[in-house]
């Protein structure tokens, strides 16, 4: 392969998918590890502390949704300007992206200051959970300028072809968080608030490192904000892309908040178990989403090159890899549910009685969910984003919440079966969509 050849069109498909997905997977797994370690330490403080974290989870994911959605627009517009060698306009994109991220921080700062306590009171009546959850959210939201600075730095580095910078930023923040967690939670006796402080210190550290790495690009991309001014047209361009992306990313927040509300009808122990599930499932879904992210570039490139064999091969190999990951994850969670709950989350008798079968039921959904995720990547790559949005809505809102509510009334012990039923329903909708896309887009190549 010569230097001028693009690996997306020449590298053997299996190796290519691993090459494209590997760095994304590593950075995602770093985040999963530090989220799990964070939860393990908090679980040592008691059930109320872990419940506070579980109720805070939808707001944390909503903050990330705003950052990721804004980053989609920021990356797309910045890469376009850089590709066209329009350096002044690229600097202007950095300014406008910074404005949007400042607004993200301001929104969550105000929520942390004024709305955290009210939000927790809608979730639970337990005073200890409300107090600890409020303290956690106030720190994470009011000091979220770290994560809101970290994200644009990562996107600039990616747009400049420096993917290693992404892992350095993520890894440094995660490592510092893991080190600080036990010190702040137990040594300084800060409790749940200590976990939040460790999180924001890690984020701020990642942001500082990100700014340093971006500064190191000054010869290739001399960012100059001198003479720049706000351009409504550019803000509109960024907002037009960011809006739908934020909406898509926010679905998981709505889903987790809705499930917390529904499961409270059973008990707060059920909410506790759901919090454990969200921490553990990331180790299965993050590799699958990494494959999904890598596939989008591969399928798009080879569709543009009108290479039906490589388009079909990418979808087929990605599907095998994702489903295989789902099956392995399913087996491991079923086998390890009891020791994970006992050792990592310090579960009591009631939590074990509910949690062990519940985690087994949720695990059954992993292979089917993998199919839906890979088909969604194919829809996005082939210009059918509305199909991808439809599947996401089915998986997160339209099917999941009504099914969970129905099971609560009919058979509470099987409430966690809602994930499998939902994924099967979404898959039955996705397969005819893919058949249509294959016939109209792939078969004619």
Count Cβ atoms below 10 Å from residue 352 Cβ, excluding itself.
17
What band does 1 get if pLDDT is binned at 50, 70 and 90?
Answer: very low
359: in domain = yes
Overall average pLDDT of the 25-49 stretch: 85
Overall average pLDDT of the 165-183 stretch: 87
Number of domains in the chain: 2
pLDDT tens-digit map of 198-240 = 999 999 999 999 999 999 988 888 887 777 788 999 999 888 8
User: Could you give the residue ranges of the DSSP H alpha helices within 114-191?
Assistant: 116-123, 127-142, 145-159, 163-182
256: in domain = no
pLDDT at 173 over 80: yes
- Are residues 355 and 227 located together in one domain of the fold? no
Tokens of 94: 């950095």
Identify which has the larger pLDDT, 157 or 428.
Answer: 428
Contacts of the segment 426-432: beta carbons below 8 A, 24+ positions apart: 426/372, 426/391, 426/394, 426/395, 426/399, 427/368, 427/371, 427/372, 429/390, 429/391, 429/394, 430/371, 430/372, 430/375, 430/376, 430/387, 430/391, 431/375
251: in domain = no
Contact 76, 93 (CB under 8 A): no
- Are residues 216 and 315 located together in one domain of the fold? no
pLDDT tens-digit map of 315-329 = 999 999 999 999 999
383: in domain = yes
Full domain range(s) for residue 151:
44-246
- Are residues 207 and 271 located together in one domain of the fold? no
73: in domain = yes
- Cα-based angle 42, 209, 151 (whole degrees, multiple of 5): 70
35: in domain = no
- Are residues 154 and 126 located together in one domain of the fold? yes
- Are residues 386 and 314 located together in one domain of the fold? yes
259: in domain = no
- Are residues 298 and 440 located together in one domain of the fold? yes
- Are residues 241 and 269 located together in one domain of the fold? no
- Are residues 238 and 273 located together in one domain of the fold? no
- Are residues 149 and 73 located together in one domain of the fold? yes
- Are residues 198 and 310 located together in one domain of the fold? no
């Amino acid at each position: 392969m010569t230097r001028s050849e693009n690996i997306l069109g020449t590298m053997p498909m299996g190796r290519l998918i691993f090459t494209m997905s590997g760095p994304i997977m590593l950075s995602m797994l770093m985040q999963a590890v530090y989220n799990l370690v964070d939860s393990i330490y908090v679980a040592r403080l008691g059930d109320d502390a872990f419940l506070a974290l579980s109720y805070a989870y939808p707001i944390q994911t909503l903050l990330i949704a705003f950052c990721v959605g804004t980053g989609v627009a920021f990356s797309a517009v910045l890469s376009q300007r850089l590709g066209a060698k329009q350096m002044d306009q690229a600097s202007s994109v950095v300014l406008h992206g910074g404005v949007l991220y400042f607004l993200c921080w301001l929104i969550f700062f105000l929520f942390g200051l004024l709305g955290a306590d009210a939000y927790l009171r809608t979730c639970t009546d337990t005073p200890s959970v409300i107090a600890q959850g409020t303290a956690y959210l106030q720190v994470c939201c009011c000091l979220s300028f770290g994560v809101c600075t970290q994200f644009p730095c990562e996107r600039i580095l990616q747009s400049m072809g420096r993917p290693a910078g992404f892992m350095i930023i993520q890894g440094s923040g995660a490592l510092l968080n893991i080190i600080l967690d036990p010190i702040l939670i137990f040594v300084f006796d800060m409790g749940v608030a200590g976990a939040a402080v460790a999180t924001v210190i890690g984020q701020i550290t990642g942001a500082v490192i990100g700014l340093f790495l971006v500064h190191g690009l000054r010869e290739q991309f001399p960012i100059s904000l001198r003479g720049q001014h706000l351009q409504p047209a550019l803000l509109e361009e960024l907002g037009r892309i960011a809006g739908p992306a934020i909406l898509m990313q926010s679905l998981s927040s709505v889903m987790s908040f809705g499930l917390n509300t529904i499961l409270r009808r059973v008990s707060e122990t059920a909410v506790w178990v759901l919090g454990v599930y969200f921490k553990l499932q990331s180790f299965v879904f993050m590799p699958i989403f990494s494959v999904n992210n890598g596939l989008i570039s591969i399928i798009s490139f080879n569709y543009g090159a009108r290479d039906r064999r490589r388009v079909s091969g990418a979808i087929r190999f990605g599907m095998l890899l994702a489903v295989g990951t789902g099956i392995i994850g399913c087996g491991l969670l079923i086998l390890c549910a009891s020791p994970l709950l006992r050792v990592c989350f310090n579960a009591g008798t009631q939590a074990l009685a509910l949690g062990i079968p519940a985690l087994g039921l949720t695990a059954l959904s992993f292979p089917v969910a993998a199919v839906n995720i890979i088909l969604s990547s194919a829809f996005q790559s082939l210009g059918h984003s509305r199909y991808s949005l439809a599947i996401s809505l089915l998986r997160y809102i339209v099917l999941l919440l009504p099914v969970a509510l129905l099971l609560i009334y009919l058979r509470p012990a099987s409430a966690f079966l809602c994930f499998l039923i939902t994924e099967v329903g979404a898959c039955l909708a996705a397969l005819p969509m893919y058949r249509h896309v294959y016939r109209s887009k792939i078969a004619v190549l």
